[in-house]
Amino acid sequence: MIRERTLETSRGPIRCLDAGAGWPLLLIHAFPLNADMWRPQLERVPDGWRYIAPDVRGFGSTPAAAADDDEPSMEGYAADVQAVMDALEIETAVVGGLSMGGYIALAANRRSPERLSGLVLADTRSEADTPEGRANRMKMSALVRSEGVSAVADQMIPKLLGSSRDDKTIVGQVRSMIEGNSVDGVDRAIHAMMNRPDSTPDLSRLSLPVLVIVGEEDALTPLADSERLQRRTSRSQLVVLPGAGHLSNIDAPEAFSTALANFLASNL
């Protein structure tokens, strides 16, 4: 059963989905979705584990700005992850994220490594944006400001899905997650991603167990990005999901959930 609630944290209200009971795994969603993208995993929580998926600030039902955090940044989003853990009285957790969620998980590790017991990095990369990537972010920022979030959905959906790209139900669910977000929340995340630091130097210092997962057909953060992540971390394993695209947890829900469960069972 998936529970839904809004936590009153030290950084304001944060909506979370929550399933299972036991050791905690926090799952941070991709841009520009919300916590509901993790429902396929929340429906398959292994015994002894609890999966918690927050709406990142400005997405879903979590308001866009925290009082003390006017500049959007990965560090601000990572502070929110810690605030969720504090509100739930969780001392340490495995923290996982897909794409932007992975950038946030890496920032959470940089901010408070003592609060993490493992990392899951799905369809993501450690590097900062290239100059070309930043220029594309500026175009997306202008697009969302002028034409709204549905224009972002039109542009992104073909790049997000692999094997389920022709599944009307799944495409509709992804579109409705994107269109449920505010222009402000989406634009703030574009700026936070554009200005994020390079997390690569942190990787060689990581002594945590790390699961790297990627969809074989991921066009946004291709396999080579995950291979570099795996090579640069000492206690890591790489799982490649055949047929899956960027949202590999949605394209291959069972294989993704099994990879998570195997990693948790054998490393934690």
- Chain residues binding ligand MLT by CB under 6 A are 30-31, 99-100, 193, 220, 246
| Least spacing, CB of residue 150 vs ligand MLT, in Å | 17
Tell me which amino acid residue 1 is. Answer: M
Closer Cβ to ligand MLT, 124 or 233, answer by number: 124
* Distance in Å, CB of 120 to ligand MLT, minimum: 14
The CB-of-112 to ligand MLT minimum distance in angstroms stands at 22
Q: Which is nearer to ligand MLT, 20 or 212 (CB)?
A: 212
Please report how close the Cβ of residue 99 comes to ligand MLT at its closest, in angstroms. Answer: 3
State the nearest-atom distance from the C-beta of 186 to ligand MLT, in Å. Answer: 11
Q: Residue 30 or residue 83: which is nearer to ligand MLT going by CB?
A: 30
The smaller minimum CB distance to ligand MLT, of residues 45 and 193, is found at 193
Residue 215: CB partners within 8 Å, gap ≥ 6?
123, 162, 240, 241, 243, 244, 245, 246, 247, 248, 251, 252
CB of 127 to ligand MLT, least distance (A): 10
The 3-class SS string of the chain reads CCEEEEEEECCEEEEEEEEECCEEEEEECCCCCCHHHHHHHHCCCCCCEEEEEECCCCCCCCCCCECCECCCCHHHHHHHHHHHHHHCCCCCEEEEEECHHHHHHHHHHHHCHHHEEEEEEECCCCCCCCHHHHHHHHHHHHHHHHHCHHHHHHHHHHHHCCCCCCCHHHHHHHHHHHHCCCHHHHHHHHHHHHCCCCCHHHHCCCCCCEEEEEECCCCCCCHHHHHHHHHCCCCEEEEEECCCCCCHHHHCHHHHHHHHHHHHHHHC
Q: Kindly report the backbone phi and psi dihedral angles of residue 230, in degrees, each rounded to the nearest multiple of 5, phi listed first.
A: -65, -40
- 11 vs 246, which CB is nearer to ligand MLT? 246
Considering the complex, state which of residue 93 and residue 193 has its C-beta at the smaller distance from ligand MLT.
193
Is the Cβ of residue 30 or residue 84 nearer to ligand MLT in the bound state?
30
Nearest distance from C-beta of residue 49 to ligand MLT, angstroms: 24
